[in-house]
Chains A and B, each alone.
Chain A
Amino acid sequence: MELKEFFENFAEVMDLDDANSLSENTEFKELEEWSSLSALGLMAMIDEQYGVSLTAADIRGSKTIGDIIEKIKSHSNE
C-alpha cells in the first residue's frame, strides 16, 4: 500500500485541505473534522480502494492512522 496515496484518500474522506499534515502517528479521532460521518466514509473508502471491509469496531479500536493501516494489512492477508 502506497502510504502517500492512503493519506490523500484519508484527507479526501475527512474533507481536509492538506494530506501532508497526516502521518501514521496522527490520532485521527482528535482531528477537529472527525465526525460519525467520517467513520462511515473511512469504511467505504477502504472497502472501495483496498477491497477490505473494516467494521465499526475496527475503527473504534484504532487510535492512529497507523492502527488503521495495520488493520487493512491484516485483513488483506486473510
Chain B
Amino acid sequence: MSNPFSLVDKTILVTGASSGIGKATAIECSKMGAKMVITGRNELRLQETMQLLEGEGHQMIVADLTKEDDLNSIAEQCPLIEGLVNNAGSTIMVPTQFISREKLQQVLEVNTIAPILLTQIFVKKKKIAKGASIVFTDSISGVKIASPGNVLYSTSKSAIYGFVKNAALDLAGKKIRVNAVCPGMIDTHILDDVSVTSEDIEADVKKYPLKRYGKPEEVAYAIIYFLSDASAFTTGSSLVIDGGFTLQ
C-alpha cells in the first residue's frame, strides 16, 4: 500500500528531542520509517527518547545549540539529511518593564539564533540533501496572538515566522523546502516553572473551541506532513495547530 506520508529512506535531524514536541516528533517519524538523528542537552532524557524510537540505525548527539562549537559539531557528526526539524525552544516569562538584555538574549539565543544558524550551517556544509525539508516549531504566539508575560517568547517566535518565508524563497533553487508549524498551547512541561495554577490552566483550556490543549503527537503529525513528499509543493507555509484558538 502506498503512503504519501512515508519517511522511509529519509534521515531526519530533530533538535530539542528530549521532551515535548521534539520527543513526540522523533518517535512518530521513526514509526513512519525515518532514520533519526536526535539532539538535546540532557543526555539521560535524550537516551529515554532514543529507547522509544522504532526501527534501527538511529543516532543521538548531546549538544547545546547556543554554543557555536556544538552547532558545527552536530553538522560534522550528522550524515546527509533529508529532513531538519528545528524544534528546541525555551521561554522566560516576564512583563515588558522587567525585560533585561540577559533575559532577551537567553530566549533569542535558543529560539531564534540557534535554529537559524543550524539551518545556515547545514546548507553551507551541504549536509542537507536536494529535495530536503526543513520544519520549524514556531508558535501562534507573536504573529497571531499576544498573552501576559509572553513578550520574549513572542518576539523570538515572530522572527522565526519571517525567517521561514525568506529562507523558503532563498532555498527554493536548491529544492529545499522550509515550513513551520504554529501550535497553540500543547501539553508539555514548558510551563511547569511559571506562575500558572491548575485553576489558571482550567480557565485557559475553556478558551479553546475544541476545549482542550493539543497533544505533542498532534504537532508531530503536521511536522511529518511537511517532512514527507506529500507536501512536495508546499514551501514557506505556516500551519496553525491550535484547536481553533485564533479563530476567535
Q: Give the B-binding residues of A (Cβ under 8 A).
A: 13, 35-37, 39-41, 43-45, 48, 56, 59-60
Contact = CB atoms under 8 A, between A and B. Distances in A.
A14 B94 CA distance: 14
A56 B98 contact: no
4 closest residue pairs by CB, A with B: A44-B98, A56-B195, A37-B148, A39-B195
Contacts of B98: 41, 44-45, 48
Contact of B196 (A41, A44, A45, A56): A56
B94 A56 contact: no
**Residue from B94, B98, B194, B197 having most chain A Cβ neighbours under 10 A:** B98
Interface in B168-193: 193
Given A56-B193, A59-B195, A36 B200 contact: yes
Contacts of B194: 40, 56
B93 interface: yes
13 contacts: A13-B95, A36-B149, A36-B200, A37-B95, A37-B148, A40-B93, A40-B95, A40-B148, A41-B97, A43-B195, A56-B194, A56-B197, A60-B195
Contacts of A59: 195
Interface of B: 93-95, 97-98, 148-149, 193-197, 200
A43 B186 CA distance: 25
Given A36-B200, A56-B193, A56-B196, A44 B94 contact: yes
B197 A44 contact: no
Contact of A60 (B95, B193, B197): B197
Nearest to B103: A44
A13 B200 CA distance: 20
Nearest to A56: B195
A33 to B, nearest CB: 13
A46 to B, nearest CB: 10
Contacts of A37: 95, 148-149
A36 B193 contact: no
Contacts of A41: 95, 97-98
A4 B141 CA distance: 38
Contacts of A36: 148-149, 195-196, 200
A44 B200 CA distance: 20
A39 to B, nearest CB: 4
Contacts of B196: 36, 56
B19 to A, nearest CB: 20
A43 B93 CA distance: 10
Nearest to A13: B95
Contacts of B94: 40, 44
B197 A40 contact: no
A43 B98 CA distance: 10
Contacts of A13: 95
B180 to A, nearest CB: 27
A75 to B, nearest CB: 16
Nearest to A48: B98
